């Protein structure tokens, strides 16, 4: 069984922030995809690996891990799938890689766009119009996860990247 983890921060004050995009995506997926185990860690972003390690116990199990998270380098509305890559500077993903001691897992990066003041940008809420874009991205994310589960990551990468 695949484990889908949405990175973000716990708490109401972070619920609709850009840095919580992964967590919002798994909230959507938990109602849509029945053939996966969904996890939204209750740890803060930079400590996500601790929560993931509780359900992913080996490098072999990590091959069936899908981590969904926000990406500053992608425009809002764009998603990319990757496997066995670095963190790209994302602290939550760095935590997962460090604790699991492997990079061999699937990532779904959800674009949030980039601004000069990165910290202010990632902790700002989405606007109403941006939330409409996100709803479409979450539907596409659901399709991506279904293709990964049913046909494999390579097929999903070829179809959606």
Q: What is the pLDDT of residues 85-94, one digit of tens each?
A: 999 999 999 9
Condensed to tens digits (0 to 9), the pLDDT of residues 97-124 reads 999 999 999 999 999 988 778 888 899 9
Question: What per-residue confidence (pLDDT) applies to 35?
Answer: 80
Catalytic residues: 19
Q: Is 44 known to sit in a ligand binding site? A: yes
- Please say if the pLDDT value at position 15 is more than 90: yes
* pLDDT score of 33 more than 80: no
pLDDT for 134-155, tens place per residue? Answer: 999 999 999 999 999 999 999 9
Give the per-residue SS3 of the chain.
CEEEEECCCCCHHHCCEHHHHHHHHHHHHHCCCCCEEEECCCCCHHHHHHHHHCCCCCHHHHCCEEEEEEECCCCCCCEEEEECCCCCCCHHHHHHHHHHCCCCCEEEEEECCCCCCHHHHHCCECCHHHHHHHHHHHHHHHHHHHHHHHHCHHHHHHHHC
Q: Is 34's pLDDT higher than 90?
A: no
Which of 8-22, 35-49, 110-124 is predicted with the least confidence, judged by mean pLDDT?
Answer: 110-124
Question: Is 2-160 CATH 2.40.40.20?
Answer: no
- From the list 108, 39, 100, 106, the residue with the least C-alpha distance to 79 is 108
- Residue 46, annotated ligand binder? yes
pLDDT at 29 over 90: no
Tokens of 152: 């494999």
């Amino acid at each position: 069984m695949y484990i889908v983890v949405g990175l973000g921060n716990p708490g109401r004050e972070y619920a609709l922030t850009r840095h919580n995009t992964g967590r919002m995506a798994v909230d959507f997926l938990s109602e849509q995809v029945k053939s996966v185990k969904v996890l939204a860690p209750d740890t803060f972003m930079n400590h996500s690996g601790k929560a993931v390690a509780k359900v992913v116990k080996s490098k072999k199990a990590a091959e069936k891990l899908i981590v969904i998270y926000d990406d500053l380098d992608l425009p809002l509305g764009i998603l990319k799938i990757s496997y066995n890559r670095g963190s790209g500077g994302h602290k939550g993903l760095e935590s997962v890689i460090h604790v699991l001691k492997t990079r061999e897992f699937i990532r779904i990066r959800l674009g949030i766009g980039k601004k000069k003041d990165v910290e202010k940008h990632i902790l700002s809420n989405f606007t109403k119009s941006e939330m409409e874009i996100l709803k479409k991205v979450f539907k596409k994310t659901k399709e991506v996860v279904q293709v990964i589960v049913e046909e494999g990551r390579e097929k999903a990468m070829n179809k959606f990247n």
